[in-house]
Amino acid sequence: MSPADVAPRAGIAERLSRMIQLPTVSAERSERGQGPFDAFADLLIELYPLVHEHLERERIGELGILYRWRGRIAERPTVLMAHFDVVPVDESDAWTHPPFEGRVDRGWVYGRGSLDDKGPLVVVMDAVENLLASGFTPARDVYLSFGGDEETFGGAARTIAETLRDRGVAPWLVLDEGGAVVDAPLPFVRGTAAMVGVGEKGVLTLRLSARGEGGHASAPPARTAVRRIARAVERLSPETFPARTPAAVTRMLELFATRTGGISRALYRLLSRAPWLTARAFTAMGGEPAALVRTTVAATMQSGGTAANVLPSQATATLNLRIALGESVGSTVKRVRKRVADRHVKVEVLEGDGPSPESSTENAQFALITDAVKVSHPGAATVPYVMMAATDSRHFHRFSPAVYRFAPLEMSKAQRASIHGVDERVEISALERGELFHRTLLQRLE
């Protein structure tokens, strides 16, 4: 059976709209309650009757949903992932349409979660429903893993992963959100590229704390608690961590060299052959390029003091770090302590996950993703890269050899900026091509 033999049902935009209308804001779960999350699970039953007739479904904890689609063999299953929680909305932001209305307007679906990550979820579910309607059975087992607390680094996906591992399930392929189909992904690169995350940076939250003499601000000592924390944060400059080029970035540059011309092609080829030079060049560029090649550190919260004229007896700063591939939580904390160089400043780990290993681009799994992209997005090159944010898939790489991060939706630069921002939206035609990607991938499992 080829993708052309399956007729996708109409109404994918309306199904996504219904999902958006449920405010599954994990950061506000204590205020909103469990209701929207349970309603979302029930909505899937309503929208996808064949899925719930033919697949085994179970709730894993309060926020995990796991489906099992039995294939002709159980060995070497595939896991398709998404999350159904979303980030909060700033009520002062001016949206074109209310963020939880799910407005369908002129070929677009607007609303919080349309890209991150209910849009990627709907194309998975639609693909499975459409294949079931055609009488299709996958070659091997397929699991659908959906979590409801990814945006708060919660444990739903971790529990699902542990559940599968404890049952002896070793996924042959895991595919989660991450990259997308983008236009002009780097300067001078022509055409579109399906950016597939083959690894992701780790995430680490540290708290710096210091104590000092309190008292009246009119006669401060030389080292106050606030000053110690401020000095510690200042010492954690962008150069705190060394730069190194992951293999995925080198491969990315090799592929982009084939899609440029003249001096640009020579430059990309040079960078792909000299990882040390790439690390230095990307570091000099700053921003996202620099984040690709080194651990980043950012102070995100500071506290201390109760009044303008009172010296606080303690002060704290919270740091968010994204750990580069090849490093670890332990080595990162050690370097922070060394750079702070103040025994009166306590460095405390609040939470942390190390970076993932890089999954191969020279295996059958990556070839399968590439083949599916050729069907759904003809002309787009499938290109590996390193994911800078954390995804739920990080819980699988410990027992799965091939974990990738790719949402098969076209996303312009403006759309990518709307993720976690204002006017998040997805084109209906992009949803249709995303469904075709997943349908093709499932049909071509061997």
| Both structure tokens of 110 | 């607007």
Run of H or E residues at 276: helix 275-285
- Positive or negative, the CA dihedral 339, 341, 343, 344 is negative
Q: Which of 1-5, 38-42, 167-171 has the lowest mean pLDDT?
A: 1-5
pTM of the full structure? 0.92
Q: DSSP code of 312?
A: -
Q: What are the CA-CA distances from residue 217 to residues 222, 263, 303, 310 (Å)?
A: 12, 60, 17, 5
| Cα atoms in the 13 Å half-sphere on the side-chain side of 125 | 31
Q: How far apart are CA 180 and CA 187, in angstroms?
A: 17
Share of the chain above pLDDT 90, in %: 86
For residue 18, the SS3 value is helix
Picking from 410, 413, 415, the residue whose alpha carbon sits closest to that of residue 432 is 410
The one-letter amino acid code at 229 reads I
Q: Which residues contact 77 (CB under 8 A, 6 or more apart)?
A: 71, 140, 141, 142, 143, 169, 171, 172
Q: What pLDDT score does 4 carry? A: 64
Beta strands in 152-191 (DSSP E): 173-183
Picking from 124, 98, 101, the residue whose alpha carbon sits closest to that of residue 177 is 124
The one-letter amino acid code at 311 reads L
| Both structure tokens of 208 | 């710096």
Mean pLDDT value of segment 31-46? 97
Q: What pLDDT score does 222 carry? A: 79
The predicted-structure confidence for 382-423, as pLDDT tens digits, reads as follows 999 999 988 999 999 989 989 999 999 999 989 999 999 999
3-state DSSP helix/strand/coil % of the chain, to nearest 5? 40, 25, 35
Question: What's the distance, CA 235 to chain centroid?
Answer: 29
191: left (phi over 0), alpha (psi -120 to 50) or beta: left
For residue 179, the SS3 value is strand
The predicted-structure confidence for 116-151, as pLDDT tens digits, reads as follows 999 999 999 999 999 999 999 999 999 999 999 999
- Positive or negative, the CA dihedral 201, 192, 13, 97 is positive
* Structural domains of the chain in order of their starting residue, each with its CATH number: 3-200+356-443 (3.40.630.10), 202-353 (3.30.70.360)
Burial class (CB in 10 A: 0-12, 13-18, 19+), 306: exposed
Q: What is the C-alpha radius of gyration for the chain, rounded to an integer number of angstroms?
A: 23
Picking from 51, 54, 60, 183, the residue whose alpha carbon sits closest to that of residue 122 is 51
Q: How far apart are CA 133 and CA 115, in angstroms?
A: 26
Q: Which residue has tokens 């999902």?
A: 19
The predicted-structure confidence for 145-193, as pLDDT tens digits, reads as follows 999 999 998 899 999 999 999 999 999 999 999 999 999 888 888 889 9
Q: DSSP code of 152?
A: G
Burial class (CB in 10 A: 0-12, 13-18, 19+), 16: buried
Q: Which of 183-187, 268-272, 343-347, 367-371 has the lowest mean pLDDT?
A: 183-187
End-to-end CA distance of the chain: give it in Å, rounded. 13
The predicted-structure confidence for 200-244, as pLDDT tens digits, reads as follows 999 999 999 999 877 777 878 878 899 999 999 999 999 999 999
Question: What's the distance, CA 257 to chain centroid?
Answer: 26
Q: In the sheet where 104-105 sits, what is the strand order?
A: 104-105, 108-110, 425-427
Question: What's the distance, CA 182 to chain centroid?
Answer: 16
Number of H helices, E strands in the chain: 15, 17
**pLDDT surpasses 80 at 320:** yes
The one-letter amino acid code at 52 reads H
The predicted-structure confidence for 248-286, as pLDDT tens digits, reads as follows 999 999 999 988 888 989 999 999 999 999 999 999 988
